[in-house]
Each structure stands twice: as C-alpha cells, then as structure tokens.
Amino acid sequence: AQSVSQHNHHVILSEAASLELGCNYSYGGTVNLFWYVQYPGQHLQLLLKYFSGDPLVKGIKGFEAEFIKSKFSFNLRKPSVQWSDTAEYFCAVGGYTSGTYKYIFGTGTRLKVLA
C-alpha cells in the first residue's frame, strides 16, 4: 500500500542550527512530492514541490529538498533555522493508484526553534 513516513515527530533546535527533516515514501510509478508548512494559527501552505527535472528543489524562506529516487526520499533542509520557522511540516506524495490520482500526507513533524 502507498504510504508516506516522517520519522521525526518533534524536533527542537536552536536558532542558526541546520535542519533536516526526513520523508520516505512507498509508491510505485511517477510521483509528485511536496512539503507543506503550517505556522501557528495560519493556513497550511505549500513550501516547495517536485514534479520533474532537477532533483534539488528550492522553496520559500530558504528551504530546499532533495528527491533521491533510489532511496524513495524527499528530505527537507535549511542551513540555518530562525525562530519564525517554528511550525508543523508535512510531507505529501501524489501518484496514480489503480488509475486514480491520490495524494497522501505524512503524519507531520513539529519543529520548535529556540531563540
């Protein structure tokens, strides 16, 4: 069955630390990959996406993610986090299952950045 795994449920970092959030998926065929972010009190919004081409994608606010097909991974990175990055981060994968396009979200990672 298709699935998306985010292994880090809670992450606490100090400002200026580097961030890497893991995302692994199980999905046959061509996939689209996404990271969404939910800041406290705000709507869930797109951080970045991968459809095709360069496997290293850059998103808003200095985030980037690398698609490694052989590892079925799409990890999110940021070289230096800020207090304002405190949020919940969701990985999502879209692909076809039995002829129907389906979108699956991971369980989310809560990031807290200490000032």
Could you give the maximum distance between any two Cα atoms of the chain, in Å?
A: 48
Q: Give residue 74's identity as a one-letter amino acid code.
A: F
- Applying CB under 8 A, among 21, 95, 111, 113 the residue interacting with other proteins is 95
| Main-chain dihedrals φ then ψ at residue 91, nearest 5 degrees | -90, 145
The one segment of 11-19, 56-64, 69-77, 97-105 that binds other proteins by CB under 8 A: 97-105
Q: Is 90 in the site for other proteins (CB under 8 A)?
A: yes
Q: Is 96 in the site for other proteins (CB under 8 A)?
A: yes
Q: Is 28 in the site for other proteins (CB under 8 A)?
A: no
d(CA 27, CA 95): 7
User: What SS3 class is residue 36?
Assistant: strand
- Applying CB under 8 A, among 11, 17, 32, 86 the residue interacting with other proteins is 32
d(CA 81, CA 26): 29
Contacting positions for other proteins (CB under 8 A): 6, 9, 30, 32, 34, 36, 43-46, 49, 51, 90, 92, 94-96, 100-108
